[in-house]
């Protein structure tokens, strides 16, 4: 058996065994982490508009900003309320997120949705303030 005479293994054998274990562990952890990144896609306004009807369009801005102007067909779930309203979203459809220009907040919400099983998630790069198309008032 392999482990019956562990004391007689040479130092080089130990180095090979430990190196192989580290390589396998690194490979497994890197494969696991890349899955989420493939599920988050940033889109320019043209691509976002062309595809947003294929999924759920969610605006994460405050309710006041949403009432002033919004993309037609969007639903408002302010960033803090979206996780409490997950039951209103379908996990089998893509999610299209839009909000203010601050992509850090949008990216945070998108990553939380991905971890909850909603994917793919598409994010509008420039945000609503830079939306080149007509907004609903």
- The pLDDT score that the predictor gives to residue 1 is 45
DSSP output for 29-79: HHHHHHHHHHHEEEE-HHHHHHHGGGSEEEE-S-HHHHHH-B-TT-EE--T
- The pLDDT score that the predictor gives to residue 135 is 93
By C-alpha distance, which of 103, 95, 99, 135 is closest to 119?
A: 95
95 bridge partner residues = 56, 121
The pTM of this model reads: 0.72
- How far is residue 3's CA from residue 52's CA, in Å, rounded to a whole number? 58
What CATH superfamily classification does 38-130 receive? Rhodanese-like domain (3.40.250.10)
**For the chain, which residues make up each domain, given as ranges?**
9-35, 38-130
- How far is residue 25's CA from residue 99's CA, in Å, rounded to a whole number? 38
**pLDDT tens track of the chain, all 137 residues?**
455 566 667 778 878 878 777 777 777 766 554 455 568 999 999 999 999 999 999 999 999 999 999 999 999 999 888 889 999 999 999 999 999 886 688 889 999 999 999 989 999 998 999 999 999 98
């Amino acid at each position: 058996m392999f482990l019956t005479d562990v004391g007689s293994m040479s130092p080089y054998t130990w180095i090979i065994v430990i190196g192989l274990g580290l390589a396998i562990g690194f490979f497994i952890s890197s494969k696991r982490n890349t899955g989420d990144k493939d599920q988050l896609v940033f889109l320019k306004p043209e691509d976002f508009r062309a595809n947003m009807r294929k999924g759920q369009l969610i605006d994460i801005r405050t309710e006041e900003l949403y009432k002033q102007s919004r993309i037609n067909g969007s639903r408002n779930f302010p960033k803090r309320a979206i996780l409490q309203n997950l039951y209103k979203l379908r996990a089998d459809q893509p999610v299209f997120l839009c909000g203010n220009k601050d992509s850090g907040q949008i990216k945070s919400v998108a990553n939380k949705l991905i971890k909850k099983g909603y994917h793919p998630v598409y994010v509008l790069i420039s945000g609503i303030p830079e939306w080149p198309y007509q907004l609903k008032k």
